[in-house]
Amino acid sequence: MDKEDKVEWIKCKNCGYLQHSSHRRCLNCKNQSFKTILAQGHCTLLTYTILNAPPMEFRDRKSYALGVVKFDNGIRALGQITTQEELKIGMKLDTTHIKICDNLDGREVFANVFKPIE
Amino acid sequence: MNKVAIIGVGHTKFGRLKDKDLLDLLCDASLEAIEDSNTSDKDFDSVYVGAMCPGEFNHMTGVASALVDRISLIPAAADHIKNGPASGGSAVKAGFQAIASGMDDLVLVVGGEKMTHITTPGYVTSTVATVTHHEAERPHGISLPGYAGLLTRVYLEKYNAELDWLSDIAIKNHRNASFNPIAHFQRTIQDFMESAINKGRGNWDNIYDYLNDDKTNPVIADPLRLFHICPISDGAVALVLCNAQVAKKYCDTPVLISGIGQATDRHIVYEREDITILNALKTSSEQAYKLAKKTPSDIDVAELHDAFEILEAVESEDIGFFKKGEGAKAAHEGLTEIDGKIPINPSGGLKARGHPLGATGVAQVAELVWQIRGEAGKRQVQDANTGITCNFGGFGNNIVSILVERM
């Protein structure tokens, strides 16, 4: 797996607060040094929707499912789900990295998506 | 701090306004507000224009500068205020601060958007979705309706609520808008159903059957259907503000802006510990109540930001009217009707008055002014002396609350 395949958050070296890696300062204590934490284990579906009116980047798709998940070590993520059938809050999912669309400038967009565990 | 009064209101019709461009709408609302406030011969100190996407939708920037030129308010200071769908609320706040600080004496606040001319599929959805987090959210194909769907599913499960209760909010708001001459949809959902029956599109035993039919009310962001989601609209609204000490020189029934608040929350919605709680609304409304020395029980009427009907339910809780998880049920039980315990969205709300993005925060205040003046016609709330708004920016990450009362 290359780096992009991984769901990573950051943990504050001062207070231990866990947050998305885009934050420059700790949301809890404003500290600026962090340790990278990778998502571990399966993830649990916290909520989902099936979007039938996609934004224009996804113009080739009639609809897709989106979910918010929480990994065993507390990291959360948003992503598409590989199926629209038999989704249920609390179900366990695996992560996979696939192309999800061609951007408006023609660039391929890859992202982590979630797949029900067989 | 000076007390701030609203002495004039101007409001274009909301809807699909083919013959007007954005500046026409801003001018129409402004001139009506100036006339309403008897300030036609006055110079204004400043003008604040709330508009979310004039660059993206109308290929137009500098809208505030353009407006003062068209309506002869030069050399008034002119600022374009952008805060997503809460641009209107932020513009009211900027005007409030100008008067409260003593820097300005007479201020025009305008909110407007022109968006129904856009025909490219997904363009409006994509443009509005640019308020979401550009790394953690947007690349995955999330939209604001998508987030509303995610929130709805959690809310219904966690609080044992029913989707039909959200439909009840839409039914109420359409009924209220049927009494509002500036509303985008001046039709009840019953009217929509009867019209569909007359056109031979189907037959339904009752309004819930109609609303749960995939053909007439398609699922947009499961479980939310079309009638749980506001339209896009064109329109503009303006207010004239002045120091409350001189308000009665201009106007017999000035309305005081006695409280105002604004707060932010996590940009990444799924980072919030509980997505059913709007922390930014809790904080902003607490600020507004504190400044006005009021509590939720003092409120006679509210205008909340029901871009999606789930939001009206959640906001009615976090603004302090109902316990957490009881907002949808309260609407279902009729507590938020015009003659209910706490009337919400007598205007018809975003759902049926319409939602020209930047106009909405100003329109909410305009409706409360009409309610307090007793000018709301068949949608008049009895004894409306005090009202509050919630103008929701992003997906709840930047919220403005404005509290107004009779002077």
Q: What local confidence, expressed as pLDDT, does residue B101 receive?
A: 98
B123 touches chain A (CB under 8 A): yes
Q: What local confidence, expressed as pLDDT, does residue A6 receive?
A: 81
Q: Tell me: the pLDDT tens digits for A12-70?
A: 999 999 999 999 999 999 999 999 999 988 899 999 999 999 888 888 889 999 999 99
DSSP summary character for residue B344? B
Binding-site residues on chain A for chain B (CB distance < 8 A): 19-20, 22, 27, 46-59, 61, 64, 66-68, 76-80, 89, 100-101, 109, 111
Checking if the pLDDT of A2 tops 50, the result is: no
B122 touches chain A (CB under 8 A): yes
Helix extents (H) in B38-131? 54-58, 63-70, 87-100, 123-129
Whole-angstrom distance between the N-terminal and C-terminal Cα of chain B?
17
Chain A residues whose beta carbon lies within 8 Å of the beta carbon of residue B220: 51-53
Judged by CB atoms closer than 8 Å, whether chains meet at B221 and A49 is answered as yes
| Spans of all domains in chain A | 3-38, 43-116
- Res. A4 pLDDT band, cuts 50 70 90: low
Judged by CB atoms closer than 8 Å, whether chains meet at B136 and A22 is answered as yes
CATH class held by domain B257-406:
alpha beta
Chain A residues whose beta carbon lies within 8 Å of the beta carbon of residue B274: none
Q: Which two tokens stand for residue A51?
A: 């979007």
Pairing of strands B386-389, B398-406: antiparallel
Q: Which residues of chain B have pLDDT under 70?
A: none
The helix (run of H) or strand (run of E) holding residue B391 is strand B391-393
What's the rounded Cα separation, in Å, for the pair B276 and B311?
Answer: 9
B121 touches chain A (CB under 8 A): yes
Q: Cis peptide before B54, with omega less than 30 degrees from 0?
A: no
Q: Which two tokens stand for residue B155?
A: 């809310």
Question: What DSSP letter does each residue of A16-85 carry, written as one string?
Answer: --EEETT-SS-TTT----EEEEE--S-EEEEEEEEESS--GGGTT-S-EEEEEEEETTS-EEEEEES-SS
pTM of the model: 0.97
Looking at residue B191, its amino acid is D
Residue of A nearest to B126 (CA): A55
- Tokens 């609209």: give the residue: B233
The CATH number of domain A43-116, selected from 2.40.50, 2.60.40, 2.40.128, 1.10.1740 = 2.40.50
Chain B residues whose beta carbon lies within 8 Å of the beta carbon of residue A79: 140
Judged by CB atoms closer than 8 Å, whether chains meet at A47 and B129 is answered as no
Residue of B nearest to A113 (CA): B140
Strand ranges in B97-187 using DSSP code E only, listed in sequence order: 106-113
Checking if the pLDDT of A5 tops 80, the result is: no
Chain A residues whose beta carbon lies within 8 Å of the beta carbon of residue B266: 27
| Spans of all domains in chain B | 257-406
Checking if the pLDDT of A1 tops 50, the result is: no
Chain A residues whose beta carbon lies within 8 Å of the beta carbon of residue B137: 78
Judged by CB atoms closer than 8 Å, whether chains meet at B145 and A53 is answered as yes
What's the rounded Cα separation, in Å, for the pair B270 and B267?
Answer: 9
Average pLDDT over residues A93-100: 93
Task: Tell me if B116 sits within 8 A of B234, measured CB to CB.
Answer: yes
For an interface test with A, which of B153, B219, B274, B395 has the most A Cβ atoms less than 10 Å from its Cβ? B153
- Tokens 């962001």: give the residue: B221
Checking if the pLDDT of A3 tops 80, the result is: no
What's the rounded Cα separation, in Å, for the pair B37 and A50?
Answer: 48
Model ipTM over 0.90: yes
